[in-house]
């Protein structure tokens, strides 16, 4: 009986959801060398706390602005997903034999916003995406397909945003409270 209770207790621990990495993941992925990525462990000492306390006003100013999420606008290099729906079988994308495949939609291979700012959609051609929201791109696809497909609908979503990538090449360490 005790063995069963321990097994259930231990098994439950491995299935418990968590909202962050486990300690072992942090420790094994971290480095004490500042040049390695993605992060370093910093030992909390009285000196470290003093530096943090001296720079608290600077940290406070950095995190006071809490704007809402910005509207997604596509840029050159972004990867987008396009799914096109038709009202019934026998249209441009959904064959008459629709019973052999589930659903009334087709998902295109992921599209890269090209250097001209466009994505390519079969039977719709080149669709402008750069600087536009997913809703605007969806409307353009539907407009281009409305005379060819059966009551088309489109869903466009961002798969990978590459236009907002930044690289941090170096950083100035905190020196003292006099800074």
Where in the chain do CATH 3.30.1950.10 domains reside? 79-160
81: its two tokens: 């997903």
pLDDT reported for residue 139: 97
Predicted structure pTM score: 0.55
The hierarchical CATH code for the domain 79-160 is: 3.30.1950.10
Mapping DSSP to helix (H, G, I), strand (E, B) and coil, where does residue 51 land?
Answer: helix
pLDDT reported for residue 93: 78
pLDDT reported for residue 33: 55
């Amino acid at each position: 009986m005790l063995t069963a209770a321990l097994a259930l207790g231990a098994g439950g621990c491995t299935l418990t959801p968590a909202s962050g990495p486990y300690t072992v993941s942090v420790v094994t992925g971290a480095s004490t060398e500042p040049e390695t990525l993605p992060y370093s462990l910093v030992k909390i000492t009285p000196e470290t706390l003093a530096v943090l306390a001296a720079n608290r006003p600077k940290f406070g100013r950095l995190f006071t602005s809490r704007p809402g999420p910005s509207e997604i606008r596509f840029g050159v290099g972004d990867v987008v997903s396009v799914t096109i729906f038709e009202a019934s079988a026998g249209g441009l994308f959904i064959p008459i034999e629709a019973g052999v495949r589930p659903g009334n939609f087709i998902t295109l291979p992921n599209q890269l916003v090209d250097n001209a700012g466009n994505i390519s959609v079969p039977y719709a051609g080149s669709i402008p995406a750069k600087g536009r929201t997913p809703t605007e791109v969806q409307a353009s696809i539907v407009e281009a397909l409305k005379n060819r497909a059966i009551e088309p609908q489109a869903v466009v979503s961002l798969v990978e945003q590459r236009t907002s990538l930044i690289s941090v090449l170096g950083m100035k360490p905190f020196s003292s409270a006099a800074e």
